[in-house]
Each structure stands twice: as structure tokens, then as C-alpha cells.
Amino acid sequence: DAIGKRLKIPLPGTPYDGSLDAQNGERAWLTVIGVVAEARHRELQAARLDLYMSYLQAAGNLGLSQIMVRTTGDPTSIAPAVRSVIRSVDRRLVVSDVQTMDAVVAAARGGARFGMQLMSTFALAALLLAAIGIYGVMAFVVSRRTREVGIRMALGARATNVMALVLRQGMTPVVAGLAAGLAGALALGRGLAGVLFGVPPYDPGTLAVAAAVLAAVAALACYFPARRAARLDPAAALRRE
């Protein structure tokens, strides 16, 4: 039980080892009077261990004070009134750096938002390159197998059979790649837990949507070469060397 225990904690304005109080030279000992659950109130990362002291208890040690005001109107419009009230209490107090909570939250999320946008840009570029690569490979395969397709159609294969053949051959490595990618995502999920906010590293919905998008793009890239193969004229295909 931590209640009643005394801790020596370095405070702003004290020596690095926290042995002396900045005001009166006494040891900076603190007594634990309560324990609460961890809370996330400064940043988006996981909650950290925080120490709370009342302003009256820590006013001499804290080099920075913050006052939060709640209003139903425009937050910036009440800044002059807040300054006036504070100056009426102590004219030596100066109110600076007035910010709305929206601005504070936006600043806290700025780094994460930039990283997300950067990763999204690279992900879209990789998806586009993958689609172009799959389309190019399948178009090359169809062009090389034109005579084979003509023979199949001459022997009775229908256009739907030819299209299904090309799609199956194109999607087989894609499915294998998706399986390997999902396995890699599950293996690396623990390392990404620190940069995910509000989403578990093994979220089934996220993995399913990502796999579905990749499969859809790959299928679309395979569809056009498959359709071209299905529209070949058997006689013209057989005459090609």
C-alpha cells in the first residue's frame, strides 16, 4: 500500500538529485495521500506515470503554471476577460500563450498526423507500383501465350474459360503474397503498438480491409489482360508464331 509512504522526487528548480528544496533548502520529500488510475492527458502515447500536487503545495517549485477555462462561446473571445480577472488577483501575474483546446490537441497530434500522411503517401505509391507491375507481367504473359490461347479456343474453350485461366494464374501469387504479408503484419504488430492510437496492433477489421483492397487492385490489374486474351480470334492467334 503506497498511502502514507514518503518519496524524494526531483522537482523543477531543485538540484538534479532532488535533495534540496529550491525555496528553503530542506529535503524535497513528498507524502503519498492517494493513488489513482493512469490517465492520458498530455499526448497520444500510452499513459505515463504522473505526479499530481496542488498548486498551493508546489507553487514555489513549479516554473510554469497553467489555467484552464471552460466556456460555451468562442474561447478566444474571453481571453481579455481572463487576463483582467487574473490581474485583479495579482497584478504581477502575466498571462501569455493563450490557446484553445483544439489548438493544443492539434499540436499534440501534429507529429502523428504528419507520420500518418507520409506513410499513407508511400503506401499509395507502393499500391500503384504493384498494380502497374501486375498488369505489365500479366500483359506480357498473355502476349507470350497467344498461340496457346488460340489452340485452347480452337479446341472448344470458351472466352469465360480463358479469362478464368488468366485470372487464376495471375491471382495465385497475389494470394500467396497476401498470406505472407498478413503473417508479417501479425509478427510486427507488437513493435507497432507504440505508434497506434486507439487501434489495437492486431485489429482484424484493419487487416481485412487492407487485404481486400490489395486483392481488389490485383484482380483489376489482372482483369484487363484476361479480357484481352478472351477476345482473341482463334484463327488469328494460330497464325501467330
Q: Which three cell numbers stand for residue 81?
A: 476577460
Mean residue pLDDT of the chain comes to 78
Amino acid at site 15: P
Whether residue 125 has pLDDT greater than 90: yes
- Domain residue extents for the chain: 1-65, 109-239
| Low-confidence winner among 91-100, 113-122, 162-171 (lowest mean pLDDT) | 91-100
Model confidence band, residue 118 (pLDDT cutoffs 50, 70, 90): very high
Cα 207 to Cα 169, 182, 199, 212, 236, distances in angstroms: 24, 7, 11, 9, 45
Per-residue b or e along 159-189, where b marks 16 or more CB atoms closer than 10 Å to that residue's CB: eeebbebbbeebbeebeeebeeeeeebeeee
| pLDDT score for 155 | 82
Q: Which three cell numbers stand for residue 142?
A: 498473355
Whether residue 27 has pLDDT greater than 90: no
- Indicate the pTM of the whole model: 0.59
* In contact, 193 and 201? CB cutoff 8 Å: yes
The residue assigned the cell 520529500 is 29
Model confidence band, residue 20 (pLDDT cutoffs 50, 70, 90): very low
Whether residue 225 has pLDDT greater than 80: yes
Whether residue 24 has pLDDT greater than 60: no
Report the candidate in 124, 118, 77 with the shortest Cα–Cα distance to residue 100: 77
**Mean pLDDT, residues 44-70 taken together:** 66
Q: Which three cell numbers stand for residue 25?
A: 533548502
Structure-model confidence comparison of residues 214 and 96, the more confident one: 214
Report the candidate in 167, 208, 207, 152 with the shortest Cα–Cα distance to residue 185: 207
Whether residue 100 has pLDDT greater than 80: yes
Whether residue 76 has pLDDT greater than 80: yes
Model confidence band, residue 180 (pLDDT cutoffs 50, 70, 90): very high
| pLDDT score for 25 | 46
Cα 206 to Cα 86, 128, 190, 200, distances in angstroms: 49, 20, 15, 9
HSE toward the beta carbon, residue 50, CA cutoff 13 A: 13
Any idea how long the chain is?
241
Model confidence band, residue 98 (pLDDT cutoffs 50, 70, 90): confident
Q: Which three cell numbers stand for residue 146?
A: 497467344
